[in-house]
C-alpha cells in the first residue's frame, strides 16, 4: 500500500474504502468488523463515510463494529461528511433535499457522527456539496470550534468547484486538505473544469468517488461507454490487468495529481483488485488512449 | 430599513430605488420630487441611475427634481453608470450599440452625469458592462482622476464576470465596492458562475437588478416561470407575504451575500412591498424550494 | 515595425512570421533564406516554430537556411514549442496523438529543436497544449534546467486556459512571458473565456495564431463567416485597407491587450499586407461592428 501525506500528522492510504453502500451489504456486526480488519490487514487505513449514507444508517453500522474492538480506531483514519439534509422517514419535516452549512447544523452533524461512529474524533470532516446558500463565516466558525474541541482534526470539501473552494478557503485560518470529487473514465468534468488543476496548485490530493462510474463501465450500453470499455480491455491486456475495474484504478493512480480512489465494495476480491492496481503501470500514451475513447475524438 | 456599510464612510439602504424607467412614468418634476421624498421618508436613501437610462434622459429628470430641493442631496447616495454608447437620435454618428471604457469617455460621462443630476459628486460610479475592448490602465487613470477631483467617491462594476472583476481590480489602488448583477428566481447565472461567491470572498455586497425578472414572475407562461410562480405562492402563504414580488424580495434578502435588491417601480405601493419584505423570513428549506422550482430538479 | 518588450532583454516584432506551413511552400534552402532575409529587412524579427510542424520537418528546413548564413541568428528571436507527440512515420510506436510534458520529453524536444534550427539557444520555448496529464513540477524542473544550461532564454505556453496557466505559473520561479492562442474575428473564445483578460492582468502580450481563421475569412460560406466578411469589407473601405486580411490584422492590432498576430504565409505580399496594417486605425465602434457581425447580435 502507498500512503499519502495530507498534513503533518495525517496520512491516507492511497486506496480508500467507501462505506456508501454498507447498509445494502446486509452484513452482521461481526461481518462488518471482519471487513474492516481485512481492509486494515491489506493496508487500507482510510474509511470514507457521510452522515446521510444509507438513509443515515451507515455510520452507525460501522460504529457498532468498531465498538466491538475499539483498538482498531487508532489504526485508521475516519472521513465523514455533512451539509446535506435528505428527505427521510427520520426527518418528516423535510419537504425536499437541501443543503445546510449553518454553524449549528455542521456542529450538530459532527456530534452525531462522533456518536454513530463510536469515536472521540473525526480525522477529516468534509462539506458534502457546495451550498449556494453558504455563509462562509459560519462554516469557518463551525470548523474552528470543532477543531478546538478536538472533535475534528482536519477539514475538506467534496464536489466543490474552483470558485467555491477559493471562497471557503479564504475564510479559514487553516488549509482545506482535500476535495472529494467524481472522477472516472466516463466522468471527466473535473479535468475539464480545472478542479484537479486546482488541487495540484494547492498541493492537495483529491479523493475520487465513483471511480467505476457507478458500475457503468461494466454494463452501460451507450456508445461512449462501449468505446471506453473496449479501450480499457485493450489496455488491460497490454498492462496485464485482471479485470476492467483494475485498469480503471490503474488509470486513476497513474495521474500526477495523486488521485486517491474510493472503493465502495463490500467484497474483498473487488477491493483486492484495486490494491493490486498499485502494481500496474498505465503509461502516458495508454492514459491518453482511454481519455480519447471517452471523449470520442483525438486531442487537438 | 437596514443599511449596508460599503466603505468607511458609505452606507447603502438595503432596498435601493432604481430609476431605469423614470422617463416612462410620465411624472412631473413635482411628482418626481414627491417620489424621492417618499422613498427617503421610508429610509430608502440609495438611488440607482445610468447615463443611458431613458435614452439619456432619466438622470436629468431626477436632477430637475433635486434642483427644486437641493437639501435632499445630502440624505441620499447616488449611483450611476457609464461605459455603454447607445444608438440614439442624440448621437446620430453611432451605427451600433457598443462599449467605451476609454479614459476620455469615462470622464466625460461622469461630468455629464454630475450636470444632469444637479450634484457636485457621485457616490458610486459603475462600469455598466464588461468591455472586451477594455484597457484597464485607462479605466484606472479615469477613476483615479475622478476621485482626486472629488467628483466620484467610490467605484464599482456591473455585470462583470469573475475574471473581468479581477482584471480591473488588479489595476486599481482602491477596492471596487460592488458588482451590480442580474439576480432573480428565474435568473440564477450569477449563483452558478461564481459571481456571488466572488462578492462574498471580497466581502462586498452585490446589487441585484431585475429582481422580478423584468416582471416575468407575474406573467410569463413558460413551464419554468409557472413552476416558480406556484412555489412562490406556496412559500408566500407560509411566511405571510402579501404578494408574489414580496416573496421574491424576501428570497433575495435571505441570502448570506447581503444582496441589495433594486426596486425599479414608480409606485409607492410596490416599493412598500419590498420594504416590508425585510420583516419576512425565508428559511433555508424554503430558499431551496424556490431554487429547486427554478432549476426544475432537486439538488444533487 | 513596432516592437514589444516581453522581458528585460527580449523584444518581439509586433508582426510575427509563422513557419507552420514551411514544408508546404516547396522552397529551396536559398528561397527560405531569402524569405527570412526579406522578413528581417521589413523588421519582422520573430519567427514561430514548433517541433511538430510539417511532420517534424519545418524546424530543419529553417535551420538549413540559417546554416547558410549564421549571422542572421542574432537579428532574430526564435520561438518553438514542445509537448505534443504526433503519430508519424517517424514514430511508428505511437498509436494516437497525445501530449507529453514530462521532464525527459521537454528536454529531449528542446535539444532536438536546437539541432534542427542550427542554433545554440531558443529565445522562447512554449508548451504547445495544456496537458491534462501534466505534472507541473516536472515541467518546472525541465524549464529550470534548460534555462540554466543556456539552451532556452524564456518560457511560455500555448492554448492554455486560465486555470492551466495559473497552475504552471505557480510552480515556476520566473514568469511565463506569453500565451499563444487562437484569435480571429470568427474565433472569439479567448475573449469570452477570460484568457485575454488574464494576459492583460499579468501584463503579458498574447501571440495570435490563425488570425485569418485558417483562411476561412476569405472563403467560408456559412452565415457567420459571410456576415463577418461583409462587415470587414465595409470597415476596410472606411479605414482605407487594401484587402480583407488587412482589416483583420488591423482589428487584432487595435485591441489594448497588444496582440501579436502570427502571419503564416510564404508570400511576401501577404506579409506586407500585415505589416501595413500597423498604419491603419480601427476605432472602437468599428472594432465592435466586427465583433457584432461575428456574434450575430448586438452587445447587451
DSSP labels for C4-17? EEEETTEEEESSEE
Question: Which of A120-134, B2-16, B206-220, C250-264 has the least mean pLDDT?
Answer: B206-220
Shortest Cα distance, chain C CAs vs residue A114, angstroms: 37
pLDDT tens readout for residues B153-175: 999 999 999 999 999 999 999 99
From CA C62, how far away is CA C65, in angstroms rounded? 5
CB contact under 8 A, B102 and C284: yes
Q: For chain C, how many residues are written?
A: 300
Assess C288–B contact: CB distance below 8 Å, yes or no. Answer: yes
For residue B288, give the nearest of B245, B236, B222, B235 by alpha carbon.
B235
A91 is catalytic: no
Q: Return contacts of A24-30, CB within 8 angstroms, 24+ apart.
A: A24/A54, A25/A266, A27/A61, A27/A266, A29/A61, A29/A64, A29/A65, A29/A68, A30/A65, A30/A68
Q: Is the pLDDT of residue B17 over 90?
A: yes
Sort strands A46-48 and A16-18 into parallel, antiparallel or unpaired.
Answer: parallel
Inter-residue contact C284 to B98 (CB < 8 Å): yes
Portion of chain B with pLDDT greater than 90, in percent: 98
Q: Is the pLDDT of residue A271 over 90?
A: yes
List B3, B53, B56, B91, catalytic entry:
B53
DSSP structure string for chain B: --EEEEETTEEEESSEEE-TTGGGG---HHHHHHHHHHHHHTT--EEE--TTHHHHTHHHHHHHHHHH-GGGGGG-EEEEEE-EE--BTTBTT--S-EE---HHHHHHHHHHHHHHTT-S-EEEEEE-S--TT--HHHHHHHHHHHHHTTSEEEEEEES--HHHHHHHHHT-SS----EEEE-BTTB-HHHHTTHHHHHHHHT-PPEEE-TTGGGHHHH--SHHHHHHHHHHHHHHHHHT-SSHHHHHHHHHHHSTT--EEEE--S-HHHHHHHHHHTT----HHHHHHHHHHHHTS---
pLDDT tens readout for residues A217-268: 899 999 999 999 999 999 999 999 999 999 999 999 999 999 999 999 999 9
pLDDT tens readout for residues C89-132: 999 999 999 999 999 999 999 999 999 999 999 999 999 999 99
Assess B163–C contact: CB distance below 8 Å, yes or no. Answer: yes
- Which among C98, C163, C164 has CB closest to A288? C98
Inter-residue contact B128 to B149 (CB < 8 Å): no
DSSP state of A91: B
Inter-residue contact A17 to A48 (CB < 8 Å): yes
From CA C215, how far away is CA B196, in angstroms rounded? 41
Residues of B in contact with A106 (CB under 8 A): none
Q: State whether residue A76 is helix, strand or coil.
A: coil
Residues of A in contact with C162 (CB under 8 A): 194
Give residue C215's pLDDT: 86
Angstrom distances, CA of residue C286 to CA of B99, C130, C236, C251, C255: 11, 34, 10, 8, 12
Residues of A in contact with B284 (CB under 8 A): 98-100, 102, 133
In this structure, what C-alpha cell is assigned to residue C136?
Answer: 507541473
Shortest Cα distance, chain A CAs vs residue C166, angstroms: 8
Quote the mean pLDDT of chain C.
97
Assess B100–C contact: CB distance below 8 Å, yes or no. Answer: yes
- Which among B84, B132, B163 has CB closest to C291? B132
CB contact under 8 A, A167 and B291: no
- Name residues 222-241 of chain C within 8 A of B (Cβ): none
Angstrom distances, CA of residue C90 to CA of C55, C63, C93, C125, C224: 8, 19, 9, 23, 39
Q: Which residue does chain B place closest to C196, by CA atoms?
A: B132
Assess A25–C contact: CB distance below 8 Å, yes or no. Answer: no
* Structural Rg of chain B based on CA atoms: 19
C276, exposed or middle or buried, with CB in 10 Å at 0-12, 13-18, 19+? middle
Q: Is the pLDDT of residue B182 over 90?
A: yes
From CA A59, how far away is CA A74, in angstroms rounded? 17
CB contact under 8 A, A300 and C129: yes
Q: Which residue does chain C place closest to A197, by CA atoms?
A: C167
List A53, A99, A154, A187, catalytic entry:
A53
- Which among A94, A132, A135 has CB closest to B285? A94
pLDDT tens readout for residues C152-168: 999 999 999 999 999 99
Residues of C in contact with B142 (CB under 8 A): none
Assess C96–A contact: CB distance below 8 Å, yes or no. Answer: yes
In this structure, what C-alpha cell is assigned to residue A146?
Answer: 470543532
Quote the mean pLDDT of chain B.
97
For residue C119, give the nearest of C162, C78, C164 by alpha carbon.
C78
Residues of A in contact with C136 (CB under 8 A): 200-201
Give residue A40's pLDDT: 98
For residue C246, give the nearest of C212, C289, C205 by alpha carbon.
C212
CB contact under 8 A, C200 and B136: yes
Q: Is the pLDDT of residue C170 over 90?
A: yes
Q: Is the pLDDT of residue A87 over 90?
A: yes
CB contact under 8 A, A159 and B300: yes
Name the CATH superfamily for C3-177: NADP-dependent oxidoreductase domain (3.20.20.100)
From CA C91, how far away is CA C95, in angstroms rounded? 9
From CA A31, how far away is CA A50, in angstroms rounded? 20
pLDDT tens readout for residues A253-263: 999 999 999 99
For the question of an ipTM over 0.90, the answer is yes
- Chains in touch with A (3+ beta-carbon pairs under 8 Å) read B, C
Give residue A170's pLDDT: 98
Residues of C in contact with B135 (CB under 8 A): 256
Residues of A in contact with C97 (CB under 8 A): 298-299
Shortest Cα distance, chain C CAs vs residue A189, angstroms: 12
Assess C97–A contact: CB distance below 8 Å, yes or no. Answer: yes
Shortest Cα distance, chain B CAs vs residue C297, angstroms: 10
CB contact under 8 A, A284 and C100: yes
- Chains in touch with B (3+ beta-carbon pairs under 8 Å) read A, C
pLDDT band at A212 (very low <50, low <70, confident <90, very high): very high
Mean pLDDT of A266-273: 96
List C53, C99, C154, C249, catalytic entry:
C53
From CA B263, how far away is CA B271, in angstroms rounded? 7
Mean pLDDT of A112-133: 98
Kindly give the residue spans of alpha helices, DSSP state H, lying in chain A: 29-41, 53-56, 58-68, 103-117, 136-148, 162-170, 189-192, 195-202, 216-219, 223-239, 244-254, 268-277, 284-295
- Chains in touch with C (3+ beta-carbon pairs under 8 Å) read A, B
Residues of C in contact with A255 (CB under 8 A): 133
- Which among C200, C288, C292 has CB closest to B167? C200
* Structural Rg of chain C based on CA atoms: 19
CB contact under 8 A, B201 and A167: yes
Residues of C in contact with A201 (CB under 8 A): 136, 166-167, 170
Handedness of CA C80, C82, C85, C89 (dihedral sign): positive
- HSE of C153, CA atoms in CB hemisphere, 13 A: 16
Shortest Cα distance, chain C CAs vs residue B254, angstroms: 29
- Which among B201, B284, B298 has CB closest to A133? B284
Q: Which of C167, C168, C172, C210 to mutate to test the interface with A (most CBs of A within 10 A)?
A: C167
Q: Is the pLDDT of residue C237 over 90?
A: yes
Give residue B215's pLDDT: 86
Give residue A254's pLDDT: 98
Give residue A215's pLDDT: 86
CB contact under 8 A, A102 and B197: no
Quote the mean pLDDT of chain A.
97
Q: Is the pLDDT of residue C294 over 90?
A: yes
- Which among B201, B287, B300 has CB closest to A133? B287
Give residue C189's pLDDT: 96
Element (H, E) at C123: strand C122-127
Residues of C in contact with A299 (CB under 8 A): 84, 97-99, 129
pLDDT band at C50 (very low <50, low <70, confident <90, very high): very high
From CA B116, how far away is CA B77, in angstroms rounded? 15
Mean pLDDT of B223-251: 97
Give residue C201's pLDDT: 97
In this structure, what C-alpha cell is assigned to residue C24?
Answer: 508546404
- HSE of A272, CA atoms in CB hemisphere, 13 A: 7
From CA B100, how far away is CA C288, in angstroms rounded? 10
Mean pLDDT of B99-126: 98
pLDDT band at A291 (very low <50, low <70, confident <90, very high): very high
CB contact under 8 A, B163 and C300: no
Amino acid at each position: 500500500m502507498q500512503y499519502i501525506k495530507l498534513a503533518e500528522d495525517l496520512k491516507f492510504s492511497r486506496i480508500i474504502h467507501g462505506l456508501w453502500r454498507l447498509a445494502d451489504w446486509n452484513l452482521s456486526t461481526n461481518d462488518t468488523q471482519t471487513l474492516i480488519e481485512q481492509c486494515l490487514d491489506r493496508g487500507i487505513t482510510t474509511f470514507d463515510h457521510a452522515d446521510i449514507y444509507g438513509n443515515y444508517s451507515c455510520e452507525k453500522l460501522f460504529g457498532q463494529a468498531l465498538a466491538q474492538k475499539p483498538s482498531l480506531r487508532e489504526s485508521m483514519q475516519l472521513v465523514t461528511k455533512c451539509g446535506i439534509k435528505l428527505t427521510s422517514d427520520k426527518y418528516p419535516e423535510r419537504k425536499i433535499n437541501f443543503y445546510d452549512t449553518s454553524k449549528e447544523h455542521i456542529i450538530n452533524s459532527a456530534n452525531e457522527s462522533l456518536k454513530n461512529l463510536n469515536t472521540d474524533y473525526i480525522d477529516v470532516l468534509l462539506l458534502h456539496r457546495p451550498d449556494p446558500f453558504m455563509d462562509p463565516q459560519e462554516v469557518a466558525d463551525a470548523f474552528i470550534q470543532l477543531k478546538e474541541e478536538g472533535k475534528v482534526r482536519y477539514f475538506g470539501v467534496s464536489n466543490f468547484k474552483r470558485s467555491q473552494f477559493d471562497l471557503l478557503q479564504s475564510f479559514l485560518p487553516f488549509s482545506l486538505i482535500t476535495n472529494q470529487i467524481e472522477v472516472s473514465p466516463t466522468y471527466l468534468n473535473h479535468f475539464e473544469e480545472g478542479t484537479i488543476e486546482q488541487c495540484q496548485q494547492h498541493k492537495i490530493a483529491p479523493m475520487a468517488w465513483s471511480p467505476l462510474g457507478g458500475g457503468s463501465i461494466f454494463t452501460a450500453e451507450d456508445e461512449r461507454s462501449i468505446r471506453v470499455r473496449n479501450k480499457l480491455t485493450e489496455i488491460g491486456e497490454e498492462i496485464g490487468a485482471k479485470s476492467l475495474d483494475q485498469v480503471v484504478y490503474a488509470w486513476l493512480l497513474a495521474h500526477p495529481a495523486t488521485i486517491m480512489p474510493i472503493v465502495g465494495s463490500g467484497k474483498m476480491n473487488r477491493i483486492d483488485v484495486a490494491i493490486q492496481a498499485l502494481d500496474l503501470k498505465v503509461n502516458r500514451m495508454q492514459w491518453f488512449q482511454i481519455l480519447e475513447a471517452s471523449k470520442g475524438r483525438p486531442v487537438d
